[in-house]
Structures are given as C-alpha cells and as structure tokens.
C-alpha cells in the first residue's frame, strides 16, 4: 500500500512541476504577443537601427576590420 501511495505522490509532484513550467511559459508567450500586435497585410514595418544595444563594455572599443597598406 505504501508503494502505491509513494507512486501517486511522485506522479502528483511531477504533474505540479510540469504544470508550473507550462504556466510560466504561457505567461511569457502571452506577454510578447500583447506587446506587439500583428501587422496588417498592407502595413509596412520599419525597424529603427539606432536602438541596438552595444555588445561591448564602456572601456572597450568596437572592432573595426582594416587592411594595412605598406609603402
């Protein structure tokens, strides 16, 4: 009888954990859908390139590829 109880307890715990992950996933997916409504067919979307974040720190510079020309 104890084995049946422990089995049911483990199944219930697994169900609760999976349900918690599912609810968190649904919450984030619903938030992202609400923040940007889908565009209409005849609508043009222009993204602003200046709003990109820097990928380097304040004391680091941006890498620029160049060729050295020798005289």
Helix (H, G, I), strand (E, B) or coil at 60: coil
> Among 28, 56, 19, 68, which Cα is nearest to 11's?
19
- Looking at residue 12, its pLDDT comes to 95
- The reported pLDDT for the residue numbered 53 is 62
3-class state of residue 59 by DSSP: coil
User: 54: which residues sit within 8 A by CB, 6+ positions away?
Assistant: 62
More confident residue, 46 or 19: 19
| Residue 4 binned pLDDT confidence (cut-offs 50, 70, 90) | very high
Instruction: Look at the pTM and tell me if it is higher than 0.85.
Output: no
Q: Is 39:45 a contact under the CB 8 Å cutoff?
A: yes
């Amino acid at each position: 009888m104890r084995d049946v109880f422990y089995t049911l307890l483990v199944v219930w715990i697994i169900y609760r954990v999976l349900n918690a992950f599912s609810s968190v996933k649904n919450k984030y997916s619903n938030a992202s859908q609400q923040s940007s409504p889908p565009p209409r067919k005849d609508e043009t979307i222009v993204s602003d390139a200046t709003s990109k974040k820097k990928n380097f720190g304040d004391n680091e510079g941006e890498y620029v590829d160049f060729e050295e020309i020798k005289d």
